[in-house]
Structure 1
Amino acid sequence: MRRLGDLLSPSCWSVRTRVTAAATLIVALMLVAGVVIFYQVVSRTVYQGLHDRGGFVAADLATLVRETDPRGTLHVQDPDFTLLQVLDADGDVLAASESLHGRGPLRVPAPGRPGPTGYHTESMRGFGKVYFVTKRVQTPQGVRKVCVGAPITTFTRYRGLFIGLLVGSVLIAASAVAWIVSLSVRRALRPVRVMSAELADITGGGTDRLVTVPDPVDEVSELAESVNVTLNRLEDVLRRQRAFVADVSHELRSPLTGLRAQLEVALEHPEDEDWPAVARAALADADRLQGIVGDLLILAKLGAGVHVPRERVDLGELVRTEAGRRPRRIPMEIAADAGVIAHVTPHHLVRLLTNLLDNAERHAKSRVWVRVAAAGPDAVLEVRDDGAGIAPEDRERIFWRFQRLAEGRDRDHSGTGLGLTISRDIARAHGGTLVAADSDQGARFVLRIPRDGL
C-alpha cells in the first residue's frame, strides 16, 4: 500500500495529471496577476478621477472665497463633491454646504501655506469614507481653509462584491482550463494507450504484429513508426535466432551422432576393432565439433558487440605477413599500396584475411591475387582466384550460416560453413562491407573498411 504522502507526490502522478496541474497552476497565477493588476487599475482610475475633479472644485471654491469671502450656505456645483466647508484661521466654520449644516469643523489636514493642494481619504461618521481636497487661501480678511469632499461609499460598498466576482472569475477560469487541458491531454494520449495495449499483446508472443500509427503526423505518430521499426528489427533478430538455433542443432547433431555411432559399434565388438583408427575418426569428429563451437563463439561475440581494443594497422604489411606465414598450395601475388592504415582489431582482421585466403586457395586452379589499395575514405582489400567462380544467385547465399556450395563440400569435408559469415560480421563490426563481386574469372571478394583518420 502506498502512503498518502507518496500519492500526493507529483512523481507518482500520471502524465495527464502532471500536465493538467502544471497548466492550471500557470494559468491560475497569470489570472491572479491579471486580476490584481485590473483591480489596481480600476482603483487608480477611480481615485485619479476624484483627484482631478476635486482639484477643480477646490480651485473654484478657493476663487470664490478669495473674491467674496462667503458666509452661510455654499452651493454645490459638482454632484459628487457635496461636502463643502470654509474655515477661518482659528478653525471656525464660516460657510458650508447643506449636507454639513449642524456639523463642526472638518478635521482634515491642509497644506501649511497658501497655494499647494492637499488630498486625503478620511472616514467620516454618516458618510463613510470621504475623499477630501483641501487648500489654504489668502484673502484680504485673512487666511481661509477650504475643504471639499466626495463620499466614495459606492466604490467601497461594492468593493467586496467586486473582489468576490474577480476571485470567482479566477476560480471558474482555472477550473475551465483544468477541464480543457485534461480532456485535451487524454485525447492526445489515446493513441499511446492503444499502442501500450498492442505492445502488451505483442509482448505476449505476437512479435509479427505492428502497432497502429495514428493519422495526424505528429510526435505520437513518429513514436509509433519508431516502435514499428524496432518491432521489425526484433522480429528479424528473432527469426535469425531461430534459424541459427536450428542450424546449430543440425550441425552439432551430425558429428555427435557419427561419433556416438562409431563408439557404439566399436564397443559391441571391441576385439575386432582397429582402436587407433577408431580414435582417429573420433578425433576428427571432435576437431569438427571444436571448430563449430569456436566459430559460434566468435559469432556470438560479434553479434553481442563485445568491445575489443583496436590498433592502427598497415593492411599491406598485414597481408604480406599472413600470406607468408605458412606454405601455400597455390602461388599468391600480392600488390599492396604503402601507407593504407586502418583502425582495427588485429586478430579479427587476421581471421577475416585467413578465411578469404584459405577459401581462395581451396578453389583456385593455379593462382591467387591479393590487392590492397586506398579508395577515397576506404581501405580496399581484394582477394581473387582463377577457380570456377561463384554463380550470381549464390553470391549472397554463401554468407549465410552453415551454407556451403557443392564444390566447397567436395574440396573440404571438414569445413563448418561459418568462415564467410564470420568474415562479413567482422567487416560490419569495423564499419565496413564484404561482398562477392563480379569477376571475369574465378571468385572475387572485396572488403572495404574506413581508413584511419578519415
Structure 2
Amino acid sequence: MPGRWPPGSWSLRTRVTVAATLVVGLLLVAGAVGFYATLRHAVYASLHARGAKAVSALAGTVRASDPRGPGALHPGDTGFLLLQVLDDRGRVRAASDEMAGRPPLADLRPDASHPTRAGRTTLAREEVYVVATRVRTRHGWRVLYAGAPMPGFSRSRSYFTGLLVLAVPLGLLMAAVSVSLAVRRALRPVRKMSAELAEVTGSGPGRMRRVTVPVTHDEIAQLAASVNVTLHRLEQTVVRQRQFVGDVSHELRSPLTGLRAQLEVALEHPEDEDWPAVARAALNDADRLQRIVTDLLLLAKLDAGVPLDREPVDLGDLARQEGARPRRVPVEVTAEDGVVVLGARGPLLRLITNLLDNAARHARTGVTVTVASSGSDAVLTVADDGDGIPPADRDRVFQRFQRLAEGRKRDNGGSGLGLPISRDIAHAHGGTLVIADTRTGAHLVLTLPRAGAPSPPPRTPRPAR
C-alpha cells in the first residue's frame, strides 16, 4: 500500500529483531493470560468446593431446626462467614452475625434443574463469592446463601495486572536488545566478507584476494568457503582470459607484420615484382593465420568448458582414417575392433591428427599407432623412431607456444599448439595424454574411458604459464 514502510527496506538485523520481539511479545501475553486463567480457575474451583460444603452443612441445620433471626447461623471452618436463609418470597429468615440486618446477599435462585448455583456479588465495595442452594423444610422451601469475601484475590488480580503491564514491555525490550546484539554478532563475519569482496578485483598480476573463513562450523563459514571456491574459479577464468589475449597478440603479430611488410615492399616497386609469387607467399601467411586462429578458438572453447556433443566413436576407425592420409613417413595402424569411446568425433579426430603430425615431423622412417582396450579404458599409443623428447622437456611440450629447438628446425610454420590442444581435448573427455618412457623415439599415450564404463568428470585445463 502507498505510504507504508515496506519491510524489504529494513536491514536483516532490524527484520530479525522485529520478528523475534513480536514472537516474544505474543508468547509473553499468551503466557500471562494463560497463567491468570489457570490461577482464576484454581481459585474459583477451591471457592466453589468450600462453598458447596458450607451450604451443604447449612442445609442440614435448616432441615433439622429451621433457625430464625440474626445471629442464628454459625459458620463452620470453610471460611464462608456470610450466611443467609431466605423463604420463597425472598425475605431473610435467618443470618449469621456478619450478615445481621442486611438485605439478601445475592439474587441467585436455584431450581429443580440447578439445585446449586454460584456467582459473585459486591458487599460494602468488596467482592464476594456466593454459593446458593434450595432445600425443603417442614415449613416450606428455603434458599440458602453462603458467601466468602475475596479481598486477597482482588488485590492479587490488581497486582498481576500491574505486573503484566510492566513486565511485558520490559521483557520485549530485553528480547529486542538481546536479539539485536546476537544478530549483530552473528552477521559480523558477513560484514567482514562484504568488505573483503568489495576489495576483490580481477585486475593486476597478483593473486585474487580471498575472504576470511570464520573458525565456526556454521552456515556462514560454509558460505565463506563457497565464496572462496567461486573466487578461485573466477581467478582461473581471468588467468585463462589473460593468457588467451596474450597468446593471440603473440602469435598473430609476427605473421601479420610479415604479410604487411611483404605487400608494402611489393607495392613500392610493382613493376619489378613477381605477383604470382607474392600472392602465393601471402596465401601461405594467410593459411598460417587461419590455422593459428582456428587453434586459438578451439583452445578458448576448451578453456571455457563448453560441453561437447558426445556420441559413441570407434577409436580404431578414427586412427585408421587419419593414418591413411599421406605424410612424410609411412604410418602403420594396428587397432582392435570395438574399442568405442563416448566423445565428440571432430575434436577426437583433431587430437589424433595432431599426434600423427607431430610424430611424422620427428620420425626417421615411420610412425606406429596402436589402439587397444585396457580394462575400462581405451588406450591409443603413437610411437615414432626419432630422437625422442628429453625428460626435462616433457612438461614444456604441453605448454602453449612452446617449441623445442628441433621442432623449430624441422618446421618453421608451426605454432606450438598441437600437443597442448591434444591434451586439453583428452582432459575434456575425462582422459589423459602423457609421454611414456621409451628407449627409441617418443611414445605418446592417450587414455580415454570406454563407452559404458564410469567416466570421471572432465578435467579443467591448467592455463599455460
Q: Do they superpose with TM above 0.5? A: yes
Asked if 1:431 corresponds to 2:436, the answer is no
Does structure 1 conserve the Cα–Cα contact (< 8 Å) formed by 2:244 and 2:300?
no
Q: Which residue of structure 1 aligns with residue 278 of structure 2?
A: 278
Is 1:109–1:118's contact at 8 Å kept on the other side of the alignment?
A: no
Distance 2:395 2:3 in 1: 63
The equivalent residue for 2:170 is: 172
What letter matches 1:126 in structure 2?
A
**CA spacing shift, 1:119–1:378, aligned 2, 3 Å:** farther
Q: Distance in 2 between matches of 1:397 and 1:211?
A: 34
Distance 1:26 1:330, change over 3 A: farther
Q: 1:185 aligns with which of 180, 183, 186?
A: 183
| Aligned twin of 1:71 | 68
Show the counterpart of 2:195: 197
Contact kept? 1:51, 1:119, Cα under 8 Å? no
CA distance in 2, matches of 1:204, 1:278: 45
> Counterpart of 2:456?
none
Is 1:37 the counterpart of 2:34 in the alignment? yes
Q: Using the alignment, how far apart are the partners of 1:51 and 1:383 within structure 2?
A: 104
Pair 1:241–1:437, CA change in 2 (3 A): farther
**Contact 1:133–1:149 (CA<8 Å) still a contact in 2?**
yes
- Superposed, 1:168-247 pairs within 5 Å as 168-203=166-201, 205=203, 208=207, 209-247=209-247
Matches within 5 A, 1:42-191: 42-72=39-69, 73=71, 74-78=73-77, 80-113=79-112, 118-124=116-122, 126-191=124-189
1:104 & 1:196 partners in 2: Cα distance? 80
Residue 396 of structure 2 corresponds to: 397
Cα offset, 1:401, TM superposition: 1.4
Instruction: Report the secondary structure of 1:203's partner residue.
Output: coil
- The one-letter code of the counterpart of 1:259 is L
Query: Residue 202 of structure 2 contacts residue 235 of structure 2 at CA under 8 Å; is this kept in 1?
Result: no
How far the C-alpha of 1:252 sits from its partner, in A, is 1.1
What corresponds to 2:410 in structure 1? 411
Partner SS, residue 62 of structure 1: helix
- The separation in 2 between residues aligned to 1:269 and 1:200, in whole angstroms, is 60
Q: Distance in 2 between matches of 1:448 and 1:34?
A: 71
1:446 alignment partner, SS class? strand
Question: Within 2, Cα distance between the matches of 1:197 and 1:30?
Answer: 38
CA contact (8 A) 1:129 1:152 kept: yes
Tell me, in whole angstroms, the C-alpha distance in 1 between the residues paired with 2:286 and 2:236: 33
Q: Report how far residue 105 of structure 1 moved.
A: 3.1
The CA deviation at 1:38 is 1.1
Deviation at 1:153, TM superposition (A): 4.6
Tell me the CA shift for residue 195 of structure 1: 1.9
2:302 pairs with 1:302 = yes
Distance 1:204 1:241 in 2: 11
Cα distance change, pair 110–441 in 1 and its aligned pair in 2 (3 A)? farther
Distance 1:157 1:11, change over 3 A: same
Q: CA deviation at 1:96?
A: 0.9
| CA apart distance, 1:400 | 1.6
By how many angstroms is 1:161 displaced? 4.3
Post-superposition offset of 1:128: 4.7
Superposed displacement of residue 177, structure 1:
1.6
Distance between the aligned counterparts of 2:341 and 2:75, measured in 1?
Answer: 104
- Measured after TM superposition, the shift of residue 160 of structure 1 is 4.6
2:14 corresponds to 1:22? no
The letter of the residue matching 1:180 is S
Percentage identity across aligned positions?
59
1:439 and 1:352 map into 2 onto residues whose CA distance is 22
Q: Any gaps of 5 or more consecutive residues in structure 1?
A: none
Paired with 1:419 and 1:175, the residues of 2 have a C-alpha distance of 72
Distance in 2, matches of 1:339 and 1:17, equals 67
Contact 1:381/1:446 (CA < 8 Å) preserved in 2? yes
Q: Distance between the aligned counterparts of 2:89 and 2:253, measured in 1?
A: 127
Moved more, 218-227 or 257-266: 218-227
Q: 2 CA distance for matches of 1:316 and 1:201?
A: 53
Q: 1:241 to 1:393 in 2, by over 3 A?
A: farther
Cα 1:370–1:33 shift into 2, 3 Å: farther
2:199 aligns to what SS in structure 1? helix
1:358 aligns with 2:357: yes
Using the alignment, how far apart are the partners of 2:369 and 2:22 within structure 1?
Answer: 72
Give unpaired runs (5+ residues) of structure 2: 454-465
Q: 2:377 and 2:11 mapped to 1: Cα distance?
A: 51
Any conservation in 2 of the 1:127–1:153 contact (CA below 8 Å)? no
* Deviation (angstroms), 1:167: 4.1
Partner of 1:385: 384
Q: Deviations over 1:203-256 (max 9, x none)?
A: 384662333333334333333333333334433433343333223212211112
Partners of 1:355 and 1:283 lie apart in 2 by 22
Please give the secondary structure, in 2, of the residue aligned with 1:163: helix
Q: 1:25 to 1:438 in 2, by over 3 A?
A: farther
The alignment of Structure 1 onto Structure 2 pairs a total of residues equal to 448
- Conserved in 2, the CA contact under 8 Å of 1:302 and 1:429? yes
CA contact under 8 A between 2:308 and 2:343: conserved in structure 1? Answer: no
Structure 2 residue identity aligned to 1:274: D
Aligned Cα RMSD in Å? 2.7
> Which runs of 4 or more aligned residues in structure 1 lie more than 6 Å from their structure 2 counterparts after TM superposition?
none
